[in-house]
Amino acid sequence: MNNRKTVLVCVTAQQSSEALVKAGKVLSDKWGAALEVVSVLPLAKNETPVKPEVLESLYQTAQKEGGEMAVYFSDDPIFTVCAHIAKRKPLTLVTGFPGANSNNFIATIHLLLPELPISMIDRDGTAYNILPCETNTAVK
């Protein structure tokens, strides 16, 4: 079991994901927690191939910010990220902000793990937070 406090950043193989790693670093410094980065790449052959130089750049950014990076290969990114979260038990999950063509990745993770705070970072660097709600709060 992992007793180390961590901030987990979920990235895609896009250069813009470097901003997410940096946002995660701000939170990890604030909370005195370790920084972890996770990316899930598809196995399906009909997917757009990932550029290795982008993945390497993300890895280098994670290392530069003092973090570790895990890369998984799976056609079920939600299950894969949830399994990683269950194993590592992070303080929060940092992701990008879902776009118009969202696959409900963030909503599904929140549905499966409602106790996990999620920080969504938009293109301008603004954070939007999904926080756990009190389960025993009475509605009057």
Q: Dump pLDDT digits (tens) for 60-95.
A: 999 999 999 999 999 999 999 999 999 999 999 999
- What is the structure's pLDDT at 1? 41
Count Cβ atoms within 10 A of the Cβ of residue 9 and give its class: 0-12 exposed, 13-18 middle, 19 or more buried.
Answer: buried
Least confident of 27-31, 71-75, 100-104: 100-104
Predicted TM-score of the model (pTM): 0.87
Least confident of 9-13, 77-81, 97-101, 122-126: 97-101
* Span 6-130 CATH architecture: 3-Layer(aba) Sandwich (3.40)
> If you average pLDDT over every residue of the chain, what do you get?
88
- What is the structure's pLDDT at 52? 87
Domain residues of the chain, as ranges? 6-130
**Better-predicted residue by pLDDT, 48 or 43:** 43
Residue 36 pLDDT > 80: yes
- What mean pLDDT comes out for the span 44-66? 86
User: End-to-end CA distance of the chain, in Å?
Assistant: 39
